[in-house]
Structure 1
Amino acid sequence: MKSILIVDDEEVIRNGIRRTIQKQFPKHRIHLAGSPEEAVDALRHHHMDIVLTDILMPGMTGLEFMAILRRHYPHIKAVVISAHSEFAYAQEAVRLGAKDYLLKPIGKDRLIELIANIGEEIDRENKRTLETQLMKSNLNYLREAVFQRLASGLDLGRFDITSFIERYPSFHLVMVRMDSDKKLTLEHFMIENVLSELIEMHGDGFVVSIDNLSLLSLVKLRAGVELEELVGELRTHLKSYLKRVPFKVLSSELLHDLRAIPNELQRMRQASVSKEYEHYDSGGDTAIEVALQYMKMHYHEELSLEKTASVVFLNPVYFSQLFKQKTGQGFKEYVIHLRMEQAKQLLQNAQLKLADIAERIGYQDVRHFTQIFRKKFELTPTEYRQRLVEMKSE
């Protein structure tokens, strides 16, 4: 019996693959995921042997998802499903460890044969490597648990960390912190995967989770590699992967004592408070463009910063910062600008009463409307209307 996860944003495809497999292999457990987020959640709660994943999905490509599998679930056999036959896709899928590359529409006989072959391969490998994998996994968990206790300043008791000290006589700390009100399970996995791969490329170390928004890594760089190089590559990757989630990267000087970790982590957290979150132009521009269009359509309603931020799926604090950066105006200032410009247009119609105009642009109180108008244009609405009459009569 094998556990299989099918990841595809098309429900028809997911269900079709499930029916084909269950008919031929009724004892296999089948799990379905319509998005990378659902797939990551399924992996965290269920043991999987085989994953069949679409190559193009919103939020994360199948190839990016496979990179996560290779890092965190190396025992899983992955099969890529695609409507594209480009060699580059297949080549990258193979590089990431894919057992095969299936083109849509998927032939039933080919799928059944593939699942059978992979199942036999898993059985052979399980007999040889189960004990080794468990030992390696346990050692990794133990190492990360020790590091988490060190970072928190907790007593290690009688645990001997001599080997830990010998392996990391000098090191840097690198922390990534995100900002969001929502659960960031997928983004968390992305950061851990990217940072782990960069550490592996440039030296030795590992990554642990501090909380839902933060990850901390210990990095021992190879000779000739500068920390700025790794941090720069990390920022570049995160700007691409995190899309609309703001983040900040902090790092330490070269440390030579594991006992310095708690104080250094505290310093980095304090520095994090004053350090601005990373902004990325492409996603930011798009979000603000959508927000501006929404504001132009709804300026006459009760328009709050929180509501507008939710329309573009951004944290209100981050949205406020990004809005001012992109427009040069604060959110409330811009709303007033929209309303007052519209008021000037409506005042040209002599048949409209001031109360009607105030209501049309979002103010229930005429007196409040008049005060804001005068503050912005140094004229009351009545005086502005009189000026229009005088200009026409000249």
Structure 2
Amino acid sequence: MYKIILADDEKWVRIVLRKAVEQTKLPVTIVQECANGLEALDAVQKHAADLVISDVKMPIMDGIGLAEQMALMTANLVLVSGYDDFQFAQKAIRYGVKDYLLKPVEMEAMADCLERWIQGRELLKEAMGDANASLQTEKAEMSAIEQVQQFVAANLAKEITLTDAAALVHLNPSYLSQLFKQQTGGKFVDYVIVMRMEEAKRLLIKTALRVSEIAERLGYGDIAYFSNTFKKLTGCSPLEYRKSGGKP
């Protein structure tokens, strides 16, 4: 049920409005009646109301002042006036007022207004739900890629396959391949090679290990293949890289 606040300084008008709202049989409930805009503002916060139906002319705070105060709230506002005042309507639209009804407000007009408003709220909820679901999916996908990257870093000396990585994060290998490229900008197999070569750079500069030992540590049984791969990515051989101090 959507929560509604009624605001009008005349009690009999509030009675008419209440009757019109209740006769619509829509999923709404009136949680409070107020005599001015200031009371309505307090009521919105007190009841976490969804909609205020308010007269334009009221003491202390009128409908336009209420509209201005509610402009940044999640609750919406429908204004009611005893005459068709275009200037009021313009100001109301400027502050995001959802509708503008003329007195006397008949049940049909109220029903039409509330139906449009409810439809808009439902669409907004659906959109927000889709956005939240999309955000959660995006976060899950980012976590999956981070897990895969950690898996690669911890297994550089072993044979690392896309199938093994996909099993780790419970994804289809084909889907993981597409997701990995989308998140990192490159293919999984190329990422593994780059990470191995980055580790090779570190070992060449930070340790006295022979090139063959480094190749073996990174899962390369063929030193020539390792050296060719290293040169292809860095522009120099492993020994040249070591001699240059990491500045080929």
TM-score when normalising by structure 2: 0.49
Q: Between Structure 1 and Structure 2, whose CA radius of gyration is higher?
A: 2
Higher relative contact order (CA 8 A, sep 6+): 2
TM-score when normalising by structure 1: 0.32
